[in-house]
Amino acid sequence: MYTHSKETQSNLTPTAALDFLKLGNERFVNNLKANRNLLQQVNETSNGQFPFATILSCIDSRTSAELIFDQGLGDIFSIRIAGNILNEDILGSMEFATKMAGTKVLIILGHTNCGAITGACNHVEMGNLTTLLHKIQPAILNEKTTKENRDGSNADFVKNVTEINVHLTIERVRKESPIIAELEQQEKIKIIGALYDVETGKVKFYE
């Protein structure tokens, strides 16, 4: 598997970039890891990086984007924070990754059995975590199908909130970053939501 160069990155379409991630997850699920010389990639990326994807995911130890999409050094910008929530610093990182560094696809990746989502559904309050979990409350409020047991003990409710959180985050990216919104309108990037299943290893893309 080759290391991306400025030329291969610039010639890559957003659709092709998304396909790279889909194929990588298929390899991961089937335990067919691509043949890479990581030390060689260290050398090849020492003077520059040309990633093709930017991925916002959770800090959960089971959800390393490089692993679940079977990517190598220099392939993706990985932004990780509990609950894959959004803030100004993360938006700034996304703007750098897309506008300045040239990535072609922006993925908002949630995952099943998320502790942060469960904590938000249980209205957990603890130090600075309180502020972080509060950012998930809009997804909880937008979950209208569950009438009873609207807390972390209800697996269906938690999954619904997880999915809604992904979609609301995409809406916020478009609304709060004119830079990224313009790139999408010009079809220079794709913004895609996705959900990683911690039981199967599969990623479901919301296209």
- Please name each of the domains of the chain with its CATH number: 6-206 (3.40.1050.10)
For the chain, what is the radius of gyration of the CA atoms? 17
CA distances from 108 to 34, 156, 170, 177 (A): 24, 20, 7, 15
The tokens of 92 are what?
A: 């700034």
d(CA 104, CA 112): 26
The model carries a pTM of 0.94
Q: Look at residue 58 and give its three-state secondary structure.
A: coil
> Mean pLDDT for each consecutive 10-residue tract of the chain (207 residues)?
80 95 97 84 82 97 96 94 98 98 97 98 97 97 96 97 98 98 98 98 96
